[in-house]
């Protein structure tokens, strides 16, 4: 099923063309990246096995679309997102993007032992803001995170929901052309979730394209106008969210 005619009039921003991703895994279950495992097993490793995580996925994403990626555990959703951002190389096929897709998250740049406020500086520097831009954005980020009373405390004193809110507030301060969100909305309380969904809609309205992986069909329905259902590495259905979610839910009964 094709995406809506209205969306197709917009220019394409991401083209996924017959994408295959294969992982090499040891038969023992360890990833091939675990060097030395062979030496630890006296009778020797039982050789490499291949996990064919994506099997020829193709679609075109247009400007202004917000695309939900759904499917059961291990179906290949995160692999697809990582391939779009360039973190995971295709074993064949290709991903073309009109600008660099950003994975929502500044987690790697943040430090637990410094305050929320100093982490705003670190996260914003990682996103490429100048010092002046950071000072202009700081009050908005603090307000969005709702951490006013805690902003001078070290981040290690935050609950996981609080640090997730700070990370989301920093990352969402930027207008991304292509924004990729992996389950980010599953964190935080209902009120914060509603506000982060609203911010994603805003990013989309300002000409961004959003990909959202989530197991929450409510988040997908509230945020995405189009959805792609992946099952066992194969694209099962692509179309308006209402239709795709309905078919996915029916298959799980």
Type and span of the H or E element at 15: strand 12-26
Contacts of 217 (CB under 8 A, 6+ apart): 70, 245, 248, 249
Q: Where are the beta strands (DSSP E) in 27-65?
A: 48-62
Nearer to ligand ATP, 188 or 233 (CB): 233
Quick check: 63 binds ligand ATP (CB under 6 A)?
no
Nearer to ligand ATP, 33 or 139 (CB): 33
Nearer to ligand ATP, 32 or 126 (CB): 32
Please give the Cα distance from 47 to 235 (Å, whole number). Answer: 30
- In whole angstroms, the minimum distance from the beta carbon of 105 to ligand ATP comes to 15
Please give the Cα distance from 65 to 226 (Å, whole number). Answer: 7
Q: Which residues pair with 235 in a beta bridge?
A: 230
Give the CA-trace dihedral at 242, 62, 3, 226, to 10 degrees: -10
Nearer to ligand ATP, 76 or 105 (CB): 76
- In whole angstroms, the minimum distance from the beta carbon of 248 to ligand ATP comes to 13
Nearer to ligand ATP, 7 or 230 (CB): 230
Please give the Cα distance from 68 to 197 (Å, whole number). Answer: 13
- Interaction mask 11-50, ligand ATP, x per CB under 6 A: ------------x-x-----x-------------------
- In whole angstroms, the minimum distance from the beta carbon of 240 to ligand ATP comes to 21
- In whole angstroms, the minimum distance from the beta carbon of 233 to ligand ATP comes to 7
Angle in degrees, 0-180, between the axes of helices 116-126 and 160-171, rounded to the nearest 10: 40
- In this structure, the chain runs to a length of 253
- In whole angstroms, the minimum distance from the beta carbon of 47 to ligand ATP comes to 15
- In whole angstroms, the minimum distance from the beta carbon of 160 to ligand ATP comes to 18
Query: What are residue 235's phi and psi, to 5 degrees?
Result: -75, 115
Nearer to ligand ATP, 9 or 49 (CB): 49
User: Which residues in the 69-88 window bind ligand ATP by CB under 6 A?
Assistant: 71, 73-79
Radius of gyration, CA atoms only, the chain: 20
Binding site for ligand ATP (CB under 6 A): 23, 25, 31, 51, 53, 71, 73-79
């Amino acid at each position: 099923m094709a995406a809506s005619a209205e969306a197709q009039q917009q220019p394409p921003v991401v083209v996924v063309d017959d994408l295959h991703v294969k992982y090499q895994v040891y038969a023992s279950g360890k990833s091939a990246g675990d060097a030395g495992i062979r030496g630890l097993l006296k009778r020797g490793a039982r050789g490499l096995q291949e996990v064919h995580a994506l099997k020829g996925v193709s679609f075109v994403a247009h400007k202004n679309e917000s695309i939900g990626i759904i499917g059961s555990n291990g179906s290949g959703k995160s692999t697809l997102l990582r391939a779009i951002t360039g973190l995971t190389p295709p074993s064949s096929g290709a991903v073309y993007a009109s600008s660099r897709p950003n994975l929502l998250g500044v987690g790697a740049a943040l430090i637990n032992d410094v305050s929320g406020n100093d982490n705003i500086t670190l996260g914003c520097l990682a996103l490429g803001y100048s010092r002046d831009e950071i000072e202009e954005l700081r009050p908005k980020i603090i307000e969005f995170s709702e951490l006013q009373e805690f902003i001078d405390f070290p981040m290690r004193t935050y609950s996981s929901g609080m640090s997730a809110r700070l990370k989301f507030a920093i990352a969402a301060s930027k207008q991304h052309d292509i924004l990729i969100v992996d389950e980010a909305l599953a964190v935080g309380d209902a009120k914060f979730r509603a506000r982060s969904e609203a911010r994603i809609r805003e990013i989309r309205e300002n000409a961004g394209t959003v990909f959202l992986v989530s197991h929450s069909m409510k988040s997908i329905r509230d945020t995405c106008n189009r959805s792609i259902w992946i099952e066992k590495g194969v694209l099962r259905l692509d179309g308006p969210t209402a239709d795709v979610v309905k078919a996915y839910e029916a298959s799980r009964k």
